[in-house]
Amino acid sequence: MKSLQELKAMRERMGESKGIRTRASPTKITVAMGTCGIAAGARSVLLAIMGELAETGLRDTAVTQTGCLGMCEREPLVEVVHQDHTTLYAYVNAERARQIVRDLLSTAEKEEK
Amino acid sequence: MKYYRAHVLICSGSNCAIKGCRSVKQACEQEIIRHGLQGEVQVVDTGCLGLCDQGPALVVYPEGVMYGRLTPSDVLEIVSEHLLKGRLVHRLMQQPTGPAGEVSPLSMTPFFQKQKRVVLKNCGLIDPERIEDYVRAGGYTALATALDVMTPERVIAEIKQSGLRGRGGAGFPTGRKWEYTRVAAGQQKYIIGNADEGEPGTFKDRLILEGDPHLIIEGMAIAGYAIGATRGIVYIRGEYELSIHRMELAIRQARENGLLGEGILGSAFSFDLEVCAGAGAYVCGEETALIESIEGNRGEPRFKPPYPAEKGLWGQPTSVNNVETLANVPSIIEQGALWYRSLGTPNSPGTKVFTLTGNIVNSGLIEVPMGITLREVIYEIGGGIPDGKKFKMAQTGGTSGGCLAAAHLDIPMDYDSLQSHGSSLGSGALLIMDDTHCIVDLTRCFLKFFVHESCGQCTPCREGTPALYHLLGKVSAGAGGHADIQLINRLSRTMQSSSLCALGQTAPVPVLSALQHFWPEVEAHLNGRCPANKCVMGKAAGKIAN
């Protein structure tokens, strides 16, 4: 490193912030992974969400799992908490999961402006 | 950069290593691979979380759930339940859950709530063996700022204004020490980071070095820039193998990234650092004895003046600072002296790292604002005295600190308040004892340590420490009288006024404070009775004492 700029660039490159470890994530995505969720394909939904997060750079987002939410017929279920706003998505598949993350990104971008 | 949905941070500090954190980590990694989670879950070695008593411990994020007292088989359950299925393993959890099963953040638990982490800000959150983790957490920004927009004089002024005082025990203002070294005439100036932590019950320097070695490098580079030193030495106690290993690794990484060496970050400032391992003498924590030891001589203190700021290592101007002091520097440069002054008390700004040991529920490592009361530390952060026993005594500042009684629980913990009660902040050791211990027996143990560690150079310390030890033995055996107490008092005053260094000057402190604060108990011994039933009275005991 030869300058302050390079130091900053290095930090940018490191990307993924400490947000996850300080529980300061502004956004939390919860995938219901009870037996019902897993049977309906929650696992591929989870992996799709993670893949999309890595690509979009929304690395501050926390992804967790939970058990059955009681609406087994609508699994896989994904709950998104952003700021104080909660949205529950039903019948999620890998493609819809990626779309959820992309929507989050555009919301976050609008907020920044 | 890969995205991991879960981070498992395993404490890899020495205290947890003793309790088997390596096999816990191995089990964790194997089990994660067995379940095919290696692409989703990141396992990280990290520094001390502070709750050493509950080691081996790990924290799973994003939930921020801490699991403690783990065995490898417990880990199998954590992986298959928590990491795979998202179900918390309540049996192993170290924090309460709310009515809806939500986990309260670690920072809200009584142990962490009253703490303020400046020195330990990254401890337990980053991987100390990766410079990337430190940089990502904002590391080396303070150094870059200092080099970019501040003159060395400005850095010193900022540190002076912050009121930062030496964290090794004496509490000397750091900015003034740096200024003396800066203005002293000399060709090659040195900055020395003192991590020769010899005080029994103190392990803060070790855990700071193990948990965040780059913070020390950054602090020392800023110090070097301020005083005009191009070379620095971290003097680490020889027994601290992990600290030495991580410090050397961090120095190599800093060099590879141009953060040590010629022209740091494009500036004209060059600075390099090396590690020097101590050889196991308590007295080498004293700055001039430490310098003698680096020069290859016997570790014996020098006469002062001249102070190291004028003539230190190899006769050159040298600033010797405790590593905790240096660890405060980057935050002060980054956030300003005023911010630092907003923490702690007017005469002792900032925070202090303490090591809690003895009869206390949460033994371990804590960082609190200066001026917090002993009661808050013991009963709120420390969780109180175990097994329903009663608090008897707290010794602050290590073996050379004073013994405080229950009446002192509400005095603020800062340099001046403790000194006015015959004790000291010292290096940050905090030994808590319950009412099953005898004060005479305890002080005799403390003195035994000083008899062993006196370097033998000056007479008051070399002869005074064994004499005090034997007199206390006599009292402990029920064979002492008021004349012996008088002699203890006189001898102590002589040692305090005429010993060459702080070792002999402070060795009588626990004895004098015990006589002052626990006199009825000492007096009972003169009448042949030990109220705590610890001391062996009579002839047989007399033999042991002599």
Nearest CA among B46, B40, B42 for reference residue B17: B46
B512 plus B413 within the same structural domain: no
* ipTM of the modeled complex: 0.78
Domain total for chain B?
4
Residues B145 and B164 in one domain: yes
B448 and B406, same domain (yes or no) = no
The CA distances from residue B240 to B48, B235, B280, B450, in Å, are: 14, 11, 10, 21
Asked if pLDDT for residue B255 goes beyond 90, the answer is yes
**Could you tell me if residue B111 is inside a domain?**
no
Confidence band of B538 (pLDDT split at 50, 70, 90): low
CATH code, domain with B26: 3.40.30.10
The reported pLDDT for the residue numbered B67 is 94
Report whether B367 contacts B381 (CB < 8 A).
no
Indicate if the pLDDT at residue B377 is higher than 60: yes
C-beta neighbour count of B444 within 10 angstroms? 25
Q: B97: helix, coil or strand?
A: strand
The DSSP call for residue B417 is H
B60 to chain A, minimum CA–CA distance in Å? 8
B-chain CB neighbours of A22 within 8 Å are 125
pLDDT at residue B86 is higher than 90: no
pLDDT in tens, B299-320: 999 999 999 999 999 999 999 9
For testing contact with chain A, the best of B3, B42, B136 (most A CBs within 10 A): B3
Which carries the bigger pLDDT value, residue A23 or residue A41?
A41
pLDDT band for position B504 (cuts 50, 70, 90): very high
pLDDT tens figures, B441-470: 999 999 999 999 999 999 999 999 999 999
Q: What pLDDT sits at residue A2?
A: 66
* Torsion angle in degrees (nearest 10) through CA of A55, A59, A65, A71: -70
Tell me how far apart the alpha carbons of residues B218 and B327 are, in angstroms, rounded to a whole number.
8
Least trusted range by pLDDT, from B49-53, B99-103, B117-121: B99-103
Give the pLDDT band of residue A11 (cuts 50, 70, 90): confident
Residue A15 has pLDDT above 60, yes or no: no
In the structure, what pLDDT confidence band is assigned to residue B85 with cuts at 50, 70 and 90?
Answer: confident
Closest CA to B326 of B180, B209, B428: B209
For residue range B412-433, what is the model confidence (pLDDT) as tens digits? 999 999 999 888 888 889 999 9
Check if A110 contacts B (Cβ < 8 Å). no
DSSP string, A79-96: EEEETTEEEEE-S--HHH
Are B77 and B50 part of one and the same domain?
yes
pLDDT given for residue A96 in this prediction: 94
Tell me, what's the pLDDT at A113? 67
Q: For the domain made up of A4-112, give the CATH fold.
A: Glutaredoxin (3.40.30)
β pairing state of A78-82 and B41-46: unpaired
- Report how far apart, in Å, the C-alpha atoms of B28 and of each of A18, B23, B91, B128, B320 are: 22, 8, 17, 19, 42
Closest-CA distance, B322 to chain A, in angstroms, reads: 27
d(CA B152, CA B146): 8
Give yes or no: residues B301 and B356 share one domain.
Answer: no
B444 and B399 belong to one structural domain:
no
Question: Average pLDDT of B333-357?
Answer: 96
Pairing of strands A78-82, A27-32: antiparallel
Residue B55 pLDDT grade (very low, low, confident, very high; cuts 50, 70, 90): confident
- The residue-averaged pLDDT of B333-360 equals 96
Interface contact B62-A23, CB threshold 8 A: yes
Is B239 in the A-facing interface, judged by CB distances under 8 Å?
no
- Please state, in angstroms and rounded to a whole number, the distance separating the CA atoms of residues B208 and B13: 9
The 10s digit of each residue's pLDDT in B384-407 is 999 999 999 999 988 999 999 999
pLDDT (0 to 100) of residue A22: 64
Question: Residue B378's pLDDT band (boundaries 50, 70, 90)?
Answer: very high
What is residue A20's predicted lDDT score, i.e. its pLDDT? 67
Closest residue of chain B to A28, computed from CA coordinates: B62
Residues B401 and B301 in one domain: no
Confidence class for position A1, pLDDT limits 50, 70, 90: low
What pLDDT score does B170 carry? 85
- DSSP assignment of B221-248 equals HHHHHHHTEEEEEEEE-TT-HHHHHHHH
Could you give the 3-state DSSP secondary structure of residue B280? coil
For residues B360 and B399, state if they share a domain: yes
Average pLDDT, chain B: 92
Whole-angstrom Cα distance, residue B257 to residue B218? 13
For residue B413, give the CATH number of its domain. 3.10.20.600
* Sign of torsion over alpha carbons B57, B62, B64, B65: negative
| Sign of the CA dihedral running B385, B357, B350, A22 | negative
* pLDDT value of position B211: 93
Q: How far is A48 from chain B (nearest CA, A)?
A: 11
**Domain CATH code at residue B184:** 3.40.50.11540
Q: What is the DSSP string of B148-210?
A: HH--HHHHHHHHHHHT-B-TTTT--BHHHHHHHHHHS--SSEEEEEEE---STT--HHHHHHH
Note whether A2 contacts B137, CB cutoff 8 Å.
no
What pLDDT does residue B543 have?
52
pLDDT cut 90: percent of chain B above it:
79
In this structure, are B38 and B76 located in the same domain?
yes
Residue B135: list chain A partners with CB under 8 A: 7, 10-11, 14
pLDDT at A35: 85
Instruction: Collect all residues of chain A within an 8 Å Cβ-Cβ radius of residue B105.
Output: 23
pLDDT in tens, A26-79: 788 999 988 888 899 998 999 999 888 888 877 678 888 888 888 888 999 999
Q: How far is A41 from chain B (nearest CA, A)?
A: 14
Which of A23-27, B20-24, B80-84, B244-248 is predicted with the least confidence, judged by mean pLDDT? A23-27
Amino acid at B506: T
Contact of B317 with B231, CB cutoff 8 Å: no
Q: Which domain holds residue B363?
A: 351-434
Residue B61's beta-bridge partner residues?
A: B7
Q: Is residue B50 one of the residues assigned to a domain?
A: yes
Q: Given this model, what pLDDT does residue A17 score?
A: 52
Residue B385 and residue B516 in one domain: no
pLDDT for the residue B546:
46
Is residue B42 within 8 A of residue B49, CB to CB? The reply is: no
For residue B81, give both structure tokens.
């339940």
Residue extents of the structural domains in chain A: 4-112
What does each C-alpha distance from B206 to B19, B173, B210, B211 come to in angstroms?
A: 17, 23, 6, 8
Q: Flag whether residue B62 sits within 8 Å of chain A, measured between CB atoms.
A: yes
Whether residues B63 and B172 fall in one domain: no
